[in-house]
Chain A
């Protein structure tokens, strides 16, 4: 996941969302497509989406800010989501999360200094019978312990 392309233009945004205009309820699919492309929802997308969907900018902005998934500022090269929900807690997930953040020297939602990893909380990955679990980008890893987590962080270049 590296996003180093120049800032998108009005036309870039329109081209990405154009295939979705005929969907019923197109805004979320459009936002996902934009984030897949740029790693964030670019600022310029707000007025363009407002225009395309005949909404106010405030409405578009309100939707973007409501959902945990949509980013306004870029993440690191990789996103590590650590599960904080109950089943993972029952298997020591909280201590694992703390030691991970301590090793990286960052807090939740922060990115390591070298830009390699952003750590986000997540509430359940459906791995509750093999907890604790985390997700590095789109890959889920279960029955984590410190050794497995260290290996994961090394792979991610943290």
Chain B
């Protein structure tokens, strides 16, 4: 009998380790010959710890499983959810980037290969640099870290740059609230990221890579470090990648708790051992990046999607999606939702479908009030905008952004003035301090919102002006995009900004 218990940190935070121990204990006392595998999560977080058991006729899911449920689980007396693939939340997805996540043992390279792993890297090794970069361009892949910049174009710039040393830097700083896709793939299928970075290295002519991983993710750090060691021992990394003429090796570097270090130039400074302040652009990191050398900086999901593009072909990937947003969106459904987790599907699904149909509305059972899409720098979308389709341009047209594709749902108890104030406060705490509109503007923003709350009607116009200044004058999107949550709260939920004043009148 095979039993899978996730080692994903969300599953562990909900008791997966205790459940795994109980299963080991109970199985032994029952004389059951059970092989326990610690897998990644299947992404249905409301069902975690989600245990799967194969008694010889396929994997059946059970969840959420508590320690007290374990005897019934092993006696076959616990109701099964059926195969994971039949659970509606899962059945509706198109899993490409996350195809293996939750299925395999994350640190078993043979299991990885048995599920399509390394096929993309092998294909890339047989291609020219130009063809590798062209594949990525043809796939339509755009950066999943926030800005949505075409990945193939970035790679081409680095490929064409002449330098003795080039680098691949993976941005695993994942600081946005509402996002956990990077963490999930690093904990659940780390070789995918390593493979994607190796393909990037071969494509642009870079022999060294770094993953800049936030310190708030101790489990992901452990899994990635272990995976890199295994990949090196097995010849997937090193002087001769999979026995080819190509060299590529990589290291994991740990951040130190600064949100702004997710911004690529700040990240590069941090990686070099400096203060994580933003650099002025140009020069582009693609030309003068880590240690002044040409550098690809890509998000975890961008890089982890590369292997499947090479495995199945650029056309297959580009065949999914909507308008200029090709392939799959790895949505992270979070906050006050009944069914939260990772949902991967082609771009083009509407916000309302995601929140109401897939997530099943709020966890509290109260009406949805707002959804913040794209992290702390993303807009608060009201229910009136629920027919907005998931796509970069589509969200932009509605005054929002997709960002790293995290969705945080709020019920009607949310106070949008407080959320706007929090956005400014967060910007003030996390500003790198280099530019005035962000550093000072955010502090003024908090004060101005407090004036609105105290009943000063004129302060709303001041806030609007201040947001314009931050938007136009900030060096990076921390100060530049903080106006998104603030102004969307003010515009879409004017009542929340008027209550105090009216109460005073």
Contacts and interface: CB of A to CB of B under 8 A. Distances in A.
Are A and B interaction partners? yes
Nearest to A144: B13
B344 to A, nearest CB: 14
Interface stretch (A5-13, A61-69, A98-106): A61-69
Contacts of A131: 334-335
Nearest to B187: A126
B9 A140 contact: yes
Given A66-B258, A126-B217, A87 B9 contact: no
Nearest to B260: A66
Contact of B274 (A63, A88, A89): A63
Interface residues of A, number: 42
B216 A135 contact: yes
A25 B273 contact: yes
Nearest to A133: B13
Contacts of B216: 81, 122, 124-126, 135
Contacts of A130: 10, 13-14, 45-46, 48, 340
Contact of B256 (A62, A67, A87): A67
A126 B9 contact: yes
A158 interface: no
Contacts of B411: 90
A86 B372 contact: yes
Contact of B333 (A86, A126, A129): A129
B291 interface: yes
B252 to A, nearest CB: 10
A115 interface: no
B408 A87 contact: yes
B365 interface: no
A1 to B, nearest CB: 13
A38 interface: no
B444 interface: no
Contacts of B290: 24-25
Contacts of B406: 87, 128
Interface hub of B271, B277, B336 (most chain A Cβ within 10 A): B336
Contacts of A28: 253-256, 270-271, 273
A40 interface: no
A133 B406 CA distance: 17
B493 interface: no
A97 to B, nearest CB: 13
A68 B14 contact: no
Contacts of B376: 85-86, 123
A157 interface: no
A89 to B, nearest CB: 7
B335 A69 contact: no
A67 B258 contact: yes
Interface in A110-140: 122-131, 133, 135, 138, 140
28 contacts: A24-B208, A24-B272, A25-B253, A25-B273, A25-B290, A32-B215, A66-B277, A69-B255, A85-B376, A87-B406, A90-B335, A90-B336, A90-B409, A91-B335, A123-B177, A123-B430, A124-B176, A124-B177, A126-B9, A128-B179, A128-B334, A128-B408, A129-B180, A129-B333, A130-B46, A130-B340, A140-B12, A140-B219
Interface of A: 23-29, 31-32, 53, 62-63, 66-70, 81, 85-91, 122-131, 133, 135, 138, 140-143
